[in-house]
Amino acid sequence: MGIVVTISGLHGTGKSTYARALAEEFRLRHISAGMLFREMATRKGLSVEELSKLAEVDPEIDRIIDERTKMEAKKGSVVIDGQLAGWMAKDHADIRIFLTAPDRVRIERLAHRDNVDYQEAERQTRLREEIEWRRYRKFYDVDIRDTSIYDLVLNTALLPIDSSIKVLKDIVREYITHNLRGR
């Protein structure tokens, strides 16, 4: 079984960007819980915010994504990104990474990604994160801002993207060299 890397963090920290870069560099599969959630919302004809609200009363929504996350982690050779990825895959994860960035930076990134103005991105993000925080506490007893289970916490606003990617690649490469040779 190959390496399992999880990348967690709040919205707009760059989880999918960094996960794709690591997956490509180390020829690993990439699974994005956020993408799975957005796809589910689209299939149900809902916005992400509407699906988040629905998930507060219907734990089945998160369970589907969580089970997929656990299943992919068990297979190995994967980078999984998502808010709960580090928690869901913790028994199978070799490296758990938590990404952070100042709120202003996160919201600017989300406004750009979703093609909305800053105020709308801020409204959506605050609402979604409040709902998720309550939901994860209620269903999992997890505080998604708790970084105690992570091996590495990286502020993605500190360096340019390419430099942050290099830092993560170097850490994963060193981990593989010192821990996975001959496995």
- pLDDT value of residue 181: 63
Residues facing 154 on adjacent strands: 99
Task: Please tell me the distance from the alpha carbon of residue 98 to that of residue 82, in angstroms, as a whole number.
Answer: 10
Tens digits of residue pLDDT in 155-181: 999 999 999 999 999 999 999 999 876
Task: Please tell me the distance from the alpha carbon of residue 4 to that of residue 96, in angstroms, as a whole number.
Answer: 9
Reply yes or no on domain 4-175 having CATH 3.40.47.10. no
**Percentage of the chain modeled with pLDDT above 90:** 74
Average pLDDT over residues 108-135: 94
- pLDDT value of residue 30: 97
Task: Please tell me the distance from the alpha carbon of residue 69 to that of residue 135, in angstroms, as a whole number.
Answer: 18
- pLDDT value of residue 48: 85
> What are the residue boundaries of the structural domains of the chain, listed by start?
4-175
pLDDT-derived band at 90 (thresholds 50, 70, 90) equals confident
Tens digits of residue pLDDT in 111-121: 999 999 999 99
Average pLDDT of the chain is 93
Task: Please tell me the distance from the alpha carbon of residue 31 to that of residue 37, in angstroms, as a whole number.
Answer: 11
Largest CA distance in the chain: 51
Who's near 13: CB < 8 A, 6+ residues apart? 99, 100, 101, 106, 156
Q: SS3 for 37?
A: helix
- pLDDT value of residue 52: 84
Tens digits of residue pLDDT in 137-153: 988 999 988 999 999 99
Task: Please tell me the distance from the alpha carbon of residue 9 to that of residue 83, in angstroms, as a whole number.
Answer: 5
Tens digits of residue pLDDT in 44-65: 999 988 998 898 899 899 899 8
- pLDDT value of residue 76: 95
Q: What is the pTM of this model?
A: 0.89
- Nearest one of 149, 147, 36, 148 to 99, comparing CA atoms: 147
Cα angle 113, 170, 15 (rounded to 5 degrees) comes to 20
Cα angle 38, 138, 93 (rounded to 5 degrees) comes to 65
- pLDDT value of residue 79: 98
Average pLDDT over residues 88-98: 93
Task: Please tell me the distance from the alpha carbon of residue 36 to that of residue 65, in angstroms, as a whole number.
Answer: 7
